[in-house]
A and B are shown apart, each in its own frame.
Chain A
Amino acid sequence: MTEPSDLTPPAAKTPKPPMSLRLRKWFGDLVSTRLDKSGGRIRQLMLVLLIGYLGIGTKLIRFGVSSEPPQTLKTAADQAASGARPDLLDRNGEILATDVRTLSVFAEPKRIIDKDEAVELITAVLPDVDARELRERLTSKKGFVWVKRQVTQKEQQEIFHLGLPGIGFFPESKRIYPNGPLGAHVLGFVDKDNIGTAGMEKYLDQQGLTDPHVPGFSVDPNALKPVRLSLDIKATHALRDELLAGMDKYKAKASAGAIIDVNTGEVIALESLPDFDPNDPPDMTKEANWPKINRVNVGTYEMGSTFKALTIAMALESGKVNLGSRIDARDSLRSGRFTIHDFHATHRVLTVPEVFTHSSNIGTARMALMVGVEGHQAFLRKMGQLDRLRTELPESAEPIIPKHWGELSTMTIAFGQGLNVAPLQAVMGVSALVNGGHMMAPTFLMRDEPAAMAVSHRVVSEQTSESMRYLLRSNATHGSGGLANIEGYYVGAKTGTAQKIVNHRYSNDKVFTTFMAITPADKPKYLYMVIYDQPEAAPGDGGYHTAAYNAGRVTGSLLRRVQPLEGVAPTSIFPTQPFPLIARLGFGADADKVGKE
């Protein structure tokens, strides 16, 4: 219809007719169909339409290709606001961590009229907001800035009543940990944007179980399935409570403990003291006398005599030694300029169970030498003691292995000196020794026995495992584990006291004590581990600060407390035939005969 004027017929260029005639002719041309002009007109029309469609098409393509969504206030706030996280539950469904809705105050600097007034009024209501910093933020060119994250109900009311234009509220998720510091080292914590920075929280992010901040890809917070951990919050509390009491009593610098299900590898409880409150992440880095690390996963220590269990298992497994073998522990063992002594020296020939119950360094060193350096290394590698242990927790530590592993190293490592491993690693090794020989990495998530068996592999024979259970049981009845051999439970236990290295030499008064206990010893379900760093002798202990007196005693009260929590009532009826395999070979009958020499 809107024919350009230059399309008027060339006849129009001849001497101009009067205006009215020209108009009439133009209208006449417009409505009349002239065959000679139709082709041209159709082409013109096609061109115009083509240009129009091309324009629309290119615009559409540009919309489709551009990844930048139109920046509205809503999207800006959505990106800045913290994402949703699934709840963390303990094995019984108790809440360990959950998200609650809070409101955060934001500002749109462009819409604020009087910035000085706004700063003045806001800082009057929110005294903890720095005035200069706020002014800087409000004068910035951004479309969206936070004023304060996660304000309280009262603060929100007050801000609302200020009636400032350009100040608004946006709902955000805030992570809370109702149990405070309980299990904090496992749970970890999140930053202000609800992104996990440590522990299982970080694991959740790594697994993509949380709602990421990708525009256009928002997960409904209700659709996030709660994640069930293997922890039992009640047992964790008991562990923390007992560890704290022990730390106070023995004036230890630090302490840690773990309870693990040896058949599934599930960590039932894990604590490391000093700890922190995950509700207040800066608490983690706050000044403490001793670092607030997860000593069970990240600390590496010389595990002391608890390592003897591994050495004896290795000797038994190699077949060079059986439970009836005799080991010469009459004299100190010399290697170069070093001499290996026994802490509780017996100066006689010991049987294998005696080597364990007397915790003979000489005896275990001799057993390790029978297997040899190569065999020792191979066995420890098989037991997972020489490689970094990785669990769901992002925190882990590489064991510290001697650079030159000669005979001397093998001799000292046999009784737990010279090799630093993470305590969880040692726990994993010992639980494989007692659960029938199935090696599996510990887990912080729920796992049942078939699933655990599927990921496990056999490291020692059933018979060796039973021998270890027998040795642990006899060490609890007439060895160093007596203080944890509490009434009503069939406990097996081993102490470990390692001297700490101070100025490149082993200190005599600074020790690192470990204690491991299994229950029930004939068919273990739980393994308890307690660690004390630099404990001192409690009054009445005759100046002893060895593992039995601190870690052992604490493990005893822990067992008494946690076993009923796990549904195991004390009983006076003990198994009559606890170790059938070795009984057939004529050993193991003396496990419960209390008669300490």
Chain B
Amino acid sequence: MWRLLHVLAIGALIASAVYVYSLKYQTILASEEIVKKRHLIAKEHEAINMLRAEYAHLVRPDRLQTLADKQLDMQPLALNQIVKAEDLPEPAAKVDSIGRMLGQSSTPAFGAVGSTPAQR
């Protein structure tokens, strides 16, 4: 009887030791993982920072201005581009494709064309 108890106690001791050891090992593994992940996060932060800096460099106003001057046909905001709602002309009557074909030669162009006032 006593012997069995002793064997059981020793067995429990060994089992708990093994369990504690494996727990400790897992903890070490997990903490190493954390350190690695932290490194990765730091690296990503750096990369994000670098990209932000690059983006800021690419959208700096003087570069955008030269690009806009070259590529876009835009004008600065001016008073003559701002109209009150009641000053807008009546929208032209809707013409479907057949109507357009019929009146291609006779219908005059309505209203304003072109995107900027200078072209009007």
Chain A residues at the B interface, C-beta cutoff of 8 Å? 94-95, 98-101, 176, 178-180, 182, 222, 233-234, 236-238, 241, 487-488, 560-561, 564, 569-572
Give B61's nearest chain A residue, CB to CB.
Answer: A237
Residue in B60, B79, B82 whose CB lies within 8 Å of A180? B60
Residue in B52, B54, B61, B82 whose CB lies within 8 Å of A234? B61
Is A101 within 8 A of B49, CB to CB?
yes
Does B35 sit at the interface, judged by CB under 8 A? no
18 A-B pairs in the complex with CB atoms less than 8 angstroms apart:
A94-B56, A98-B53, A98-B56, A100-B53, A101-B49, A176-B57, A178-B60, A179-B56, A180-B62, A182-B61, A222-B45, A241-B65, A487-B78, A488-B79, A560-B76, A570-B79, A571-B79, A571-B82
Is A99 within 8 A of B60, CB to CB?
no
Q: Give the secondary structure class of A's interface.
A: mixed
Indicate the size class of the contact surface on chain B.
Answer: 10 to 19
Is B79 within 8 A of A487, CB to CB?
yes
Point out the residues of chain B lying under 8 angstroms from A100, CB to CB: 46, 49-50, 53
- What is the bound-complex CA distance between A580 and B60, given in angstroms? 44
Does B77 sit at the interface, judged by CB under 8 A? yes
Given the interface pairs A101-B46, A179-B56, the reply to whether A569 lies near B61 with Cβ below 8 Å is: no
- What is the bound-complex CA distance between A336 and B60, given in angstroms? 57
- What is the bound-complex CA distance between A560 and B81, given in angstroms? 14
Chain B residues at the A interface, C-beta cutoff of 8 Å? 45-46, 49-50, 52-54, 56-57, 60-62, 65, 76-79, 82
Point out the residues of chain B lying under 8 angstroms from A222, CB to CB: 45
Residue in A178, A180, A488, A570 whose CB lies within 8 Å of B53? A178
Residue in A179, A564, A569, A570 whose CB lies within 8 Å of B60? A179
Given the interface pairs A178-B60, A569-B77, A570-B79, the reply to whether A98 lies near B65 with Cβ below 8 Å is: no
Point out the residues of chain A lying under 8 angstroms from B76, CB to CB: 560-561, 564
Point out the residues of chain B lying under 8 angstroms from A238, CB to CB: 61
Is B61 within 8 A of A176, CB to CB?
no
- What is the bound-complex CA distance between A222 and B45, given in angstroms? 9
Say how far B54's CB is from chain A's closest CB, in angstroms: 8
Is A95 within 8 A of B53, CB to CB?
yes
Give A237's nearest chain B residue, CB to CB.
Answer: B61
Say how far B60's CB is from chain A's closest CB, in angstroms: 5
Say how far A196's CB is from chain B's closest CB, in angstroms: 18
Point out the residues of chain B lying under 8 angstroms from A560, CB to CB: 76
Point out the residues of chain B lying under 8 angstroms from A241, CB to CB: 62, 65
- What is the bound-complex CA distance between A571 and B84, given in angstroms? 10
Say how far B47's CB is from chain A's closest CB, in angstroms: 9
Point out the residues of chain B lying under 8 angstroms from A561, CB to CB: 76
- What is the bound-complex CA distance between A179 and B61, given in angstroms? 8
